[in-house]
Amino acid sequence: MYRRLSTMTDVVDIKAGLRNVLERIAIVSNNRTIQKNVQLVAVSKTKPVEAILEAYEEGQRHFGENYVQELQDKANDPVILEKCKDIKWHFIGHLQSNKVNKVVKLPNIHMVETIDSQKLAENVNSSWEKYRLNDSGKLKVLIQVNTSGEENKSGVNPKEVSQLYDYMNQKCTALETVGLMTIGEYGYDYSKGPNPDFVSLLECAKSVKGNESLELSFGMSDDFEKAIEIGSTIVRVGSSIFGYRTKK
């Protein structure tokens, strides 16, 4: 089914896009030796609620957003609340301390993928403990790693991952620290070999105690197949499902 999306002039078949991405995920997952399921997070940032409904109707449950205000609007949207009772939101943007309570209070928040400091971990932990723990159980979180070392990217230094992971497991008892996430450099040229950001994240995972069951979130529209081949368990895919975004 085709549907014209609010301000966009092009027409995107979201259901077909989603099916295509899921098919490609299934093929690479079957061909790899690692026996782990791959979770698709459909990144719906800048896209309207109708786009989310389309994907939800097609069976998609995990959605990612990276602006707090936008996620707040969508998660509290009456139509989403009514029709998408089983939706699972992933927060994938930079989280400032003053916005922590907003994210913690969101209906159907499932995972915060971007814990990038001990201080943020402590803030999210105490907020979750205060507002949600009793009703919702622990909040799943990932540690975001700055694998490319770019100054404009958030994330902890790869060398600090293991220490922060241990700290969070011991001290942040309202959280379930389930793994690691990286964004990495955009536009990597794969003719040069495996993506060094992905390789770095895998190295970080090895440095963590009890690393067999870690979730590893890396891979986006342009490279999710490459990511899955080498061990990604969560891929965050936006434009391949919802169409191109106009820049903010």
Ligand X SMILES: *Cc1c(COP(=O)(O)O)cnc(C)c1O
- Contact positions vs ligand X (CB under 6 A): 43, 45, 66, 92, 183, 220-221, 236-240
Which of 61, 94 has the CB closer to ligand X? Answer: 94
Q: Closest distance between ligand X and the C-beta of residue 173, in Å?
A: 27
Q: Closest distance between ligand X and the C-beta of residue 245, in Å?
A: 7
Q: Closest distance between ligand X and the C-beta of residue 78, in Å?
A: 26
Note whether 91 and 70 are within 8 A (CB): no
Which of 43, 228 has the CB closer to ligand X? Answer: 43
Rounded Cα–Cα distance for residues 147 and 205 (Å): 12
The alpha-helical segments, DSSP class H, found in 7-67 are 14-31, 49-57
Q: Which residue is nearest to ligand X (CB)?
A: 238
Give the contacts of 152 (CB within 8 A, at least 6 positions apart): none
Which of 56, 218 has the CB closer to ligand X? Answer: 218
Alpha-carbon distances of 61 from 80, 159, 208, rounded to whole Å: 12, 34, 29
Dihedral angle computed from the Cα positions of residues 246, 22, 111 and 84, in that order, rounded to the nearest 10 degrees = 80
Which of 174, 236 has the CB closer to ligand X? Answer: 236
Which of 129, 225 has the CB closer to ligand X? Answer: 225
Residue (of 135, 130, 129, 154) closest to 143 by Cα position: 154
In angstroms, the first-to-last Cα distance of the chain is: 28
**84 burial level (CB within 10 Å; 0-12, 13-18, 19+):** buried
Q: Closest distance between ligand X and the C-beta of residue 145, in Å?
A: 13
Q: Closest distance between ligand X and the C-beta of residue 129, in Å?
A: 26
